[in-house]
Amino acid sequence: MHDVDTAHTDPCFHRGGPLATELTLHMPFSVSSVAIGLVLAGVLSIMSASHHDREEQTSADHGHAMHEMMFHLFHPAHMLFSAAATTAMFWRYDHRAVRAVLVGLAGAVIVCGISDIAIPTLSARILGKDFPEPWHICVWDHPGLVLPFAGIGILLGLIAAMGVGASTLFSHSLHVFTSTMASIFYLVGQYASTTAWIDDIGPVFLLIIVAVLIPCCVSDIAFPVLMSRPARARYLAEGHTH
């Protein structure tokens, strides 16, 4: 089996180097996705509030339901792309199948939870929102909703790492976009009304960039490489030879 060099064909795979460099290379995808995601979320929020105001209904409850529904669409999709990218990155350097599956699953469940739930919740606290409700952990509350996506993502990651359409199947832009939308809808769903978060769109923009950029880079690159000694050695060697 020949290793496939995807460094120049897929932005998810870079040729080694410091993590700070990887964060810089991922920055354009993250910032662009967050900006587009906020516009889409804002349009949906305004449309939802306007519709229910016309019907003289309370838009807040419907808004929360809409945001929760959108989160439950994008969070599983994020898990799929995260599991695929993490598994493919690990398999590129280390061909131990069982470990690749475990690393892909852990990267999807843990890192996606941090990106989509933990950081948005902490961001809400930073913005002065105080919600007594417990965190909504999808993998615990709704395992049947997210684990199939993680499982298929792992399978696709193994296939992509063997050279089947890696440059299109695992576009980093799709990974970042799904992460962006999940993080946005989890955060804005914690506001008192459907559109109240728009008043804080500047700080929300910055906080969602953090929620997306660092976890995605860790999931795609740092985590799978750190989980394997051969991977660390080869990754560092690539950084010195290119």
The predicted pLDDT at position 8 comes to 41
Cβ–Cβ under 8 Å, residues 101 and 154: yes
Give the residue carrying structure tokens 């615990």. 140
Residue 39's alpha-carbon distances to 13, 34, 181, 187, in angstroms, are 29, 9, 11, 15
The predicted pLDDT at position 166 comes to 46
Q: What is the mean pLDDT of each run of 10 residues along the chain (242 residues)?
A: 42 49 73 90 83 54 76 92 87 88 90 89 84 67 86 88 52 79 89 84 93 80 81 68 47
What's the CA gap between 130 and 30, in Å, rounded? 27
What's the CA gap between 241 and 235, in Å, rounded? 10
Characterize 137-175 residue by residue with b for buried, 16 or more Cβ atoms within 10 angstroms of its Cβ, and e for exposed.
ebbeeeeeebbebbbebbebbbbbbbeeebeebbbbebb
Its pTM stands at: 0.80
- Determine if residue 150 is left, alpha or beta; phi over 0 gives left, psi from -120 to 50 gives alpha, anything else beta: alpha
What's the CA gap between 55 and 144, in Å, rounded? 35
At 78, the amino acid letter reads H
What's the CA gap between 185 and 187, in Å, rounded? 5
Structure-derived torsion over alpha carbons of residues 32, 36, 39, 41, reported in degrees to the nearest 10: -120
| Of the candidates 128, 130, 148, the residue with the CA atom closest to the CA atom of residue 138 | 148
The predicted pLDDT at position 148 comes to 92
Orientation angle between helical segments 19-54 and 201-217, nearest 10 degrees: 140
Cα 25 off chain centre by: 16
The predicted pLDDT at position 207 comes to 93
The predicted pLDDT at position 67 comes to 82
The predicted pLDDT at position 9 comes to 38
At 119, the amino acid letter reads I
